[in-house]
Amino acid sequence: MVSETYISDSWVESTFARLTLAEKSYLISGDSMWNTYAIPRLGVPAIKFTDGPIAARGSKWIEGVTAAICPSTISMAATWDCESLSKIGRVLAEEARSKRADLLLGPTVCINRSPLGGRNFESFGEDPYLNGTLAASYIDSIQERGVGTCLKHYVCNDQETDRFVVDCVVSERALREIHLRPFEIAIRQCKEQPWSVMAAYNKLNGVYCSRNKYLLENVLRKSWGFNGVTMSDWHGTNSIVPSVEAGLDLEMPGPTKRRGQFLIDAFELGHIKEKTIDECARRVLELIYKTGKVGRDFAEEKEIAIVSPIHSQILREVASDGIVLLKNSKQHLPLPSQVKKVAVIGPNAAVSVANGGGSSAANPHYRTDPFNSIRQALPNSEVRTTPGCRIDKFVTLIKSECMTNPVTGGAGIHIDYYRDLNQSGDTIFEEDRTSSMLSMYDTLPRHMARKESPQYSYRARTIVRPMTSGKHKFSISSCGNSTLYIDGKEVTNIVFSWRQPRSELFMAYGSPEKVVEVDGMEAGRAYEVMVEGISKERAPNEVSWFGDMVKDELMDGIRLGFQEEERVDLLQEAKDLASDSDVVILVVGKNSEWESETYDMKSMDLPGKQNTLVEEILDINPNTVVVIQTGSPVSMPWIDQTPTVVQAWYQGLEQGNALCDVLFGRTNPSGKLPMTIPKKLKDTPCYHNFPGENKTVVYGEGIFVGYRHYDAVEVNPLFEFGYGLSYTTFGYSDLRLSSPVFTESIEVTVNISNTGSVPGKEVVQFYVAQTSAHRIPRPVRELKGFNKVFLEPGETKLVSAIFTRDSVGFWDTSCGAWVVDAGSQFELLVGASSRDIRLVESFKVVDRLVWV
């Protein structure tokens, strides 16, 4: 029998031998937003990528085919459960197949340095071991089903401020022990290495990650033995020749901006050797073969939506397992099912906050929310809701029930596109959209999306019928010039410039939002709303064969907002409802406007008047459960006032049902914090150097990220890393080590007992601490193992973990290697959190250990 490896090598080598230089130069660059180039004459198919870490979105960022949105990655991390990550991998792989995608762009394993990181929700938290271990389970589960993964963003893409250009200045030790570590763990622990690794946008110590030979060649390939494809983040290839020479295999997306003809010209001018291009092209061919598409029809298959009850059940279980019970001092939870009057209050109470913004966005198969899930769970109770306050960052999008497409008659907007810049002549393209967020990022035909294509103009039209009479708000933001008309009358316009301040809209490429008030609007009356605009002028970009080139992402579109006049006192309405209820479920938090790719947060405070809402509702009804939906820590000035707090994250499709399961005791909460929740921002390790200045950020905290910092400086957080309560209790006993002397490894075992009255899961956490004198600073303790175990009341199970030299070593910059000094003494600590340590045993290392 001929081995699969031989067949792969044979096809790759025979195909590679017939490639022309031009074909190689295009093969290592994208052809479209989500596809690579196909070479039909050689039977080389295009491969298709899809975002993202929590959903296989398909080929459209907005309004694409519906998808299963999984719990946010930070919520997955809060499960501390590799089995849960394997289940998520099954869902994502099957969803990717339904979108005809070959490779999923995830997982993200960058470290959460600050509570203000805009993309914190998209990573596994603050600890490299937890990040890497969970990522490995995620990767294995997806890839064993024939879909590839992309480990990202390599490396230090842990802030959004100036993310395309910021220089992250990091010491070698901090880089090795903290920021590179989750990538290394994931690559080494996977049964099969991730098929690809994505280079980050930012610079590392002065060199862009996309052209950083130290990262891409020395560390990734030579040190770790990575044999897959390295690719740029989207529009993140900053150079022509240097990126190829550094080993960046694939530029994405397409049409190409740095390769293709540029590489052909560079070769002819003697700037690059063909064998350098060959190395990248061969690895891309290997990836293409892995997808299983060789020999199949080149026609792209239609994306479909498959709503699977099995997937829904998996997402519900994993979401509920990630919910963290932070406080339950009066045992309000679980709630009784016979409660008569329930108030579900808060800006997130009756809306679906499924995910953060940016790459995690997707069009969900369906939505659930706390209010409707609670109402379904309590059919015999009176369940009412009110928001209590607003947290809109921008004027809200036009509600579907208020707008009518003038062409189709359904809900939505019609857009016509023109070749010129004044909306005249024949249309070259038209489309109907259901949302007033009209991103043109990946919806344009290929001939309009090319960098060298001329600018175009467009006209978007809809009919708006207000639900109430009054003074209402319209808003507009655009990429490029635009003008807003109502009933044929111009009401505002935007003159776009590359030099003007940008908003946080359109991935930070949109103009600042302009808001106008229109008085005297009548309920039910039809108003014709039209926007005329032009695509933005391409950024200036001179060719540089060896230098860095400016980022020139193609992002066009308009955002239309419409918000009717608020004529009620929302806070008073909430107080009245709370006073007339037996139980209040107070759902506060953020959403994709506040936590998103492309920008960081400004504070840890809940947006709007939510803190006031919490305090006043607690004064009126002490039987209140505060539910927090965020992807990052928030300040809780009312924490001493409330007896019950639940951290519920962004939970995807099943967020409402999963929350219900925990609140009413169908699921015993077992989530543990994958990040520290500080009392205040000033306590955080990078308070003085996040997000940096003048496009440079110094990682001044070194290795003391997250709980390592709080332990070292003896600052008490609000809730520590690894913390989480249960409806039952657990006992720890009989900690044993296989040997008191460490040579190659040590096995640890401990008995865990359910000492309460209900079934539950416990996350057993293993930490290592060097207790002997050390010549360089070391953390007080570091997570080096964990295990989640289910126990019936009265049941005891043996939990074990294996500790290797990676569990005890540190990076020694004096010799450029991992080291354990001779005679070092250690403690193995087992506990329910980083500070709730239950058992301790000692061991030692006799001989010095050194390895690379």
d(CA 399, CA 434): 10
Is the CB of residue 648 less than 8 Å from the CB of residue 54? no
Is the CB of residue 708 less than 8 Å from the CB of residue 782? yes
Residue 825's φ and ψ, nearest 5 degrees, are -105, 140
Longest Cα pair distance anywhere in the chain, in angstroms?
84
Domain 309-393+570-713 is found in CATH 3.40.50.1700: yes
Q: How far out from the chain centre does Cα 655 lie?
A: 16
d(CA 202, CA 238): 10
**Strand-pair category, 583-589 with 624-629:** parallel
d(CA 484, CA 209): 41
The vertex-233 CA angle with 552 and 652, nearest 5°, equals 115
Domain 730-851 is found in CATH 3.90.1300.10: no
Please give the pLDDT value at position 6: 55
d(CA 111, CA 805): 22
- Catalytic annotation present for 619: no
**Strand-pair category, 489-494 with 413-418:** unpaired
d(CA 730, CA 753): 5
Please give the pLDDT value at position 2: 42
Is the CB of residue 692 less than 8 Å from the CB of residue 291? no
- Long-range residue pairs from 400-403, CB within 8 A, at least 24 positions apart, any chain: 400/434, 400/435, 401/467, 402/464, 402/465, 402/466, 402/467, 402/562, 403/436, 403/462, 403/463, 403/464, 403/465, 403/529, 403/562
Please give the pLDDT value at position 1: 41
Indicate the SS3 state at residue 460: strand
Q: Which residues contact 14 (CB under 8 A, 6 or more apart)?
A: none
Please give the pLDDT value at position 69: 97
Please give the pLDDT value at position 4: 53
Q: Bridge partners of 473?
A: 517, 563
Is the CB of residue 439 less than 8 Å from the CB of residue 61? yes
Please give the pLDDT value at position 312: 98
**Residue burial 199-238, b: 16+ Cβ < 10 Å; e: rest:** bbbbbbeebbbbbbeebbbebbbeebebebbbbbbbbbbb
d(CA 143, CA 196): 11
Output the six-digit token pair for 302: 């239609």
Cα dist from 158 to 597, 608, 793, whole Å: 10, 26, 42
Which runs of E-coded beta strand occur in 506-636?
514-521, 527-534, 557-563, 583-589, 624-629
Output the six-digit token pair for 399: 């509600």
Domain 400-563 is found in CATH 2.60.120.260: yes
d(CA 589, CA 619): 20
Catalytic residue among 102, 233, 249, 821: 233
Residue type, 730: F
d(CA 257, CA 549): 10
CATH assignment of 47-255, among 3.40.50.1580, 3.90.180.10, 3.20.20.300, 3.30.830.10: 3.20.20.300
Compute mean pLDDT per 10 residues along the chain, 852 residues long, and list them. 60 96 97 94 95 92 92 98 98 97 97 97 98 98 98 97 96 98 98 98 97 98 97 95 98 93 96 97 97 81 94 98 98 94 98 92 95 96 97 95 96 95 92 93 72 81 97 94 96 82 79 94 97 83 78 79 94 98 98 94 97 98 98 98 97 98 98 98 97 97 98 98 98 97 96 98 98 94 98 98 96 96 97 98 96 90
d(CA 172, CA 169): 10
The vertex-605 CA angle with 603 and 610, nearest 5°, equals 150
**Domain extents for the chain?**
47-255, 309-393+570-713, 400-563, 730-851
DSSP 276: H
Q: Bridge partners of 207?
A: 204
Please give the pLDDT value at position 546: 84
Instruction: Tell me how long the chain is.
Output: 852
